[in-house]
Amino acid sequence: MNKETNQPATTFGIVGFPLSHSLSPLIHNSIYKDKGMNASYLVFETKEFDQNIVRELQKSGVKGVSVTIPHKERAFAIADSADEPSQIMKASNTLVLGKNSIHAYNTDGEGAYRSILEWSPESLSRGKTLILGSGGSARGIAYSLATSANPEELILSSRNETTGKEICSLISKHSSVKSVFVDPKDLLSIRDQISLVVHTTPLGMKGQSPGPFIGEEFFNSSMTLFDIVYNPLETPLVKAAKSTGAKIIPGSEMLLYQAMKQFELFTGVIPDSNDVKKTRERLSVALANR
């Protein structure tokens, strides 16, 4: 155990709205305990997110925050410096806070890519990749897949055509991958070209609109669906895809892997395979009890 028990605990946390469903505190606090770290991870639920809120966190000694819906673009805008995925895609899910500095990172993309490699690597090379949504998560995931997985083509579809086309433009500019926007109503016409579907919107999340973004008529048994919503694990979209025999990557896997990278950024400690295994088990139990 950490012998410096008389020292104040290092504080980290999560910023977003709503946060009642978040399993991030379970992930981070459990690893601190496992490793005997004098640290805690708190929930900072807020509808607004700006420089003043970050200053208050810094003043109170918070050293880093995970950032979730709907503040990922704001997190990037607030930062003094940012990693390459954040800079290019203009969205961040991690802020490391110094006394007078804010460093932004995006671990969403790495978390998604590691999940796909673990569960369905063949889906990255068999056909085209379709990303549903154009928010902060879609940005990080699109960039990571374009630069790491080199898919045949990256198709983006979202209700917001402006942000969707902006992401496609950024991907085409900063990678060798062709990226095109397709209106949701036209998706059925390209279904036979798709091998991997990544859903990044809040549709289907507990407390949000149920969805699904697309119906079961879109899916077939040669496709893989990765719905990053993890509460509930069986969203209407997952049920629709499952009924056609499509392969499913659990949404909790991205949560797991992006959190492992955040833990490393916050503490400087690289999590090992045992940390990954124990966290996966904890998430499984927590989700089964919801």
Cα radius of gyration (the chain) = 19
CATH number for 10-105+261-289: choose from 3.30.2320.30, 3.20.20.120, 3.40.50.10860, 3.40.50.360.
3.40.50.10860
pLDDT tens digit sequence for 68-84 = 989 999 999 999 999 99
- What would the two tokens of residue 137 be? 């998560």
| CATH number, domain 109-251 | 3.40.50.720
Answer yes or no: same fold for 10-105+261-289 and 109-251.
yes
Active site amino acids: 72
Q: Strand order in 94-97's β-sheet? A: 39-45, 10-16, 62-67, 94-97, 102-105, 81-82
Q: pTM for the whole thing?
A: 0.88
Mean pLDDT of the region 50-60: 96
Q: Residue 6: which pLDDT band, with cuts at 50, 70 and 90?
A: low
Is 133 known as a binding-site position? yes
230 belongs to an annotated ligand binding site: yes
| Phi/psi of residue 222, nearest 5 degrees | -95, 0
For residue 207, pLDDT over 90 is answered with no
Q: How many other C-beta atoms can be found within 10 angstroms of the C-beta atom of residue 34?
A: 13
Is residue 278 pLDDT above 80, yes or no? yes
Domain ranges of the chain: 10-105+261-289, 109-251
Give the pLDDT confidence score for residue 277 in this predicted structure: 96
Give me the mean pLDDT over the 239-255 stretch. 95
Q: What is the DSSP string of 230-243?
A: -SSSS-HHHHHHHT
Placement of tokens 């068999």 in the chain: 126
Q: What's the pLDDT score for residue 1?
A: 43
Q: How many CA atoms, within 13 angstroms, populate the side-chain half-sphere of residue 155?
A: 21
The answer to whether 152 is a known ligand-binding residue is no
